[in-house]
């Protein structure tokens, strides 16, 4: 971990190591999109077309998302010019996903495949881009967690030195590894692109809630609630609603599913509050959080199987 220093400057714009690494990651993700669309639809060229649409919309969404959350700070310190002063940094992963989702909706409408199918074919590429972007955070001061005081854990990948030489949890490593695993999982689901999209969003949201909670960097937040966790909650609600609609369960089953999701989200919010306000050891709280997320995942995957079974029965 180190303070960012530019590699070079061109036309007044500085290129930083993180930006170069991220650009390489996006290139590899675009190549993966070609393979994903070939596997899902037999149309590799559509992966390139979507990439050319998703990259600018994702960038715009990431910038606008950050500016929306930090509007008060930006208005006082920078003014409206911050929006196009890209060298100052400031991007939101949730905003980037909104931009990519808009690209999938537009491209899905143009190709008549629909938003979910298009997003599913691109899901492995999106997760690969996320993984490589997280790994690239080693070139910045971001992506770190609490101090590692126990000598037993003071080695990579459980600890890395920050800019002051203190050992911290390298959350970016674990987020990147998780995204790589999910990339492989969604690749196996590409025979059903819509399922790849929904399963990818579900698993990413559940794991991201946990890893995001460990971060002690410049994350975006509203009070003690982190923006990325709100985004993950919205994805979980959307995935649950789609699977409930497809499964056509009884009212009692639907009610219990909605209650389970609401209870789980409520428990996660309470745990986030407890990390700073409760005398309970944070290790115990994180174990409880992992158990809650695992229970939510098990319940939602059971709902997924029910929805897929219902679709198969009507095929």
Distance between CA atoms of 190 and 38, rounded to whole angstroms? 10
Determine the pLDDT at residue 4: 66
- Nearest alpha-carbon partner for 142 in 156, 157, 123, 162: 162
End-to-end Cα separation, the chain, in angstroms: 53
Task: Enumerate long-range contacts of 291-294, CB under 8 Å, 24 or more apart.
Answer: 292/264, 292/267, 292/268, 293/206, 293/207, 293/209, 293/210, 293/264, 293/268
169, 10 in Cβ contact below 8 A? no
Q: What is the pLDDT along the chain (315 residues), one digit of tens a residue?
A: 666 677 777 666 677 788 888 999 999 999 999 999 999 999 999 999 999 999 999 999 999 999 988 888 888 778 788 887 776 778 899 999 999 999 999 999 999 999 999 999 999 999 999 999 999 998 888 899 999 999 999 999 999 999 888 999 999 999 999 999 999 999 999 999 999 999 999 999 999 999 999 999 888 887 777 899 999 999 999 999 999 999 888 888 888 888 888 899 999 989 988 987 889 999 999 999 999 999 999 999 999 999 988 877 766
- Nearest alpha-carbon partner for 95 in 197, 207, 228: 228
Give the chain's length. Answer: 315
Task: List b or e across 251-265, with b for residues whose CB sees 16 or more CB atoms inside 10 angstroms.
Answer: eeebeebeebbeebb
* Helix axes 115-135 and 93-111, enclosed angle (nearest 10): 150
CA distances from 188 to 7, 191, 247, 298 (A): 38, 7, 22, 19
Q: Which residue has the tokens 């309970």?
A: 280
Helix (H) or strand (E) holding 167: strand 167-168
Determine the pLDDT at residue 314: 67
Determine the pLDDT at residue 247: 87
In the structure encoding, which two tokens stand for residue 20, read together? 């170069």
Distance between CA atoms of 295 and 261, rounded to whole angstroms? 10
Which backbone phi and psi does 8 adopt, to 5 degrees? Answer: -165, 170
Distance between CA atoms of 159 and 168, rounded to whole angstroms? 5
Instruction: For the chain, count helices (H), then strands (E).
Output: 10, 6
- Determine if the pTM surpasses 0.85: yes
């Amino acid at each position: 971990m180190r303070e960012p220093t530019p590699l070079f400057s061109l036309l007044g714009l500085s290129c930083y190591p993180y930006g170069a690494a991220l650009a390489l990651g996006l290139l590899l993700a675009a190549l993966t999109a070609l393979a994903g669309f070939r596997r899902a639809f037999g149309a590799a060229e559509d992966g390139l077309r979507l990439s050319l649409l998703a990259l600018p919309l994702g960038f715009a969404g990431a910038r606008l998302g950050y500016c929306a959350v930090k509007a008060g700070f930006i208005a006082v310190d920078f003014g409206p010019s911050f929006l196009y002063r890209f060298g100052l940094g400031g991007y939101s992963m949730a905003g980037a996903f909104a931009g990519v989702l808009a690209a999938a909706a537009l491209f899905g409408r143009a190709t008549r495949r629909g938003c979910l199918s298009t997003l599913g074919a691109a899901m492995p590429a999106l997760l690969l881009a996320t993984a490589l972007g997280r790994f690239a955070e080693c070139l910045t001061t971001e992506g770190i967690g609490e101090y590692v005081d126990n000598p037993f854990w003071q080695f990579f990948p459980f600890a890395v030195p920050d800019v002051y030489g203190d050992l911290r949890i390298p959350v970016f490593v674990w987020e990147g590894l998780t995204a790589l695993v999910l990339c492989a999982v969604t690749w196996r689901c590409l025979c059903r692109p819509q399922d790849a999209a929904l399963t990818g969003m579900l698993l990413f949201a559940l794991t991201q809630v946990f890893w995001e909670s460990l971060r002690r960097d410049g994350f975006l937040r509203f009070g003690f609630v982190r923006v990325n966790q709100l985004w993950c909650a919205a994805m979980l609600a959307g995935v649950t609603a789609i699977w409930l609609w497809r499964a056509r369960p009884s009212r009692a089953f639907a009610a219990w599913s909605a209650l389970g999701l609401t209870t789980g989200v409520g428990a996660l919010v309470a745990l986030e509050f407890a990390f700073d306000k409760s005398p309970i050891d944070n290790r115990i709280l994180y174990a409880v959080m992992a158990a809650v997320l695992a229970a939510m995942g098990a319940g939602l995957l059971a709902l997924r199987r029910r929805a897929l079974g219902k679709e198969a029965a009507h095929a």
